[in-house]
């Protein structure tokens, strides 16, 4: 079973500001509730082919994984993938300007769990959707507080 979770928010800040902040891996622990640390495996700045390691806490488990940037259109779209662990994942961010001068950001996580994780896929999708909503709410709060 494939897990495909899409969430979005509108941030009352310009697209360039939201995209620059959200796409910077160093900011992930600020707005992702579950991400505890980030380590660059390649030299910044973020480019296609860059690798960034994350340590997260999700569903009571410590997860360590490395994302590779597979698509980067600055200010518009970022796609990163990991093939590690029991749940290979692709994460996509998109940013679009709103008519009011804000930014619509989408966060999409897709993956196909393997082994035992496959049995828990429906539960994982619900938990991911909840976590992603909380993450985007936190991003919105952080960025709107600085404006």
Q: What is the set of domains in the chain, with CATH numbers?
A: 3-145 (3.30.530.20)
User: 0.85 exceeded by the pTM?
Assistant: yes
Q: List, for residues 17-37, the tens digit of each pLDDT value.
A: 999 999 999 999 999 999 999
pLDDT band at 61 (very low <50, low <70, confident <90, very high): confident
Chain centre distance of CA 40: 16
Instruction: Provide, rounded to the nearest whole percent, the portion of the chain with pLDDT above 90.
Output: 73
Task: Output Rg (C-alpha) for the chain, integer angstroms.
Answer: 15
Give the pLDDT band (50/70/90) at residue 119. low
Q: What is the pLDDT of residue 122?
A: 78
Q: Are 58 and 87 in contact (CB under 8 A)?
A: no
């Amino acid at each position: 079973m494939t897990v495909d979770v899409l969430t979005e928010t509108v941030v009352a800040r310009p697209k360039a500001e939201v995209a620059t902040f959200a796409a910077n891996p160093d900011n992930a622990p600020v707005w992702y509730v579950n991400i505890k640390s980030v380590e660059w495996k390649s030299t910044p700045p973020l480019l296609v082919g860059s690798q960034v390691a994350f340590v997260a806490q999700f569903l009571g488990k410590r997860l360590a994984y490395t994302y590779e940037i597979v698509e980067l259109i600055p200010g518009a779209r970022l796609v990163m993938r990991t093939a590690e662990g029991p749940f290979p994942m692709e994460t996509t961010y998109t940013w679009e300007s709103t008519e009011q001068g804000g930014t619509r950001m989408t966060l999409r996580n897709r993956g196909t769990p393997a082994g035992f994780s496959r049995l828990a896929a429906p539960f994982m999708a619900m938990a991911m959707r909840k976590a992603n909503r909380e993450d985007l709410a936190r991003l919105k709060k952080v960025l709107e507080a600085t404006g």
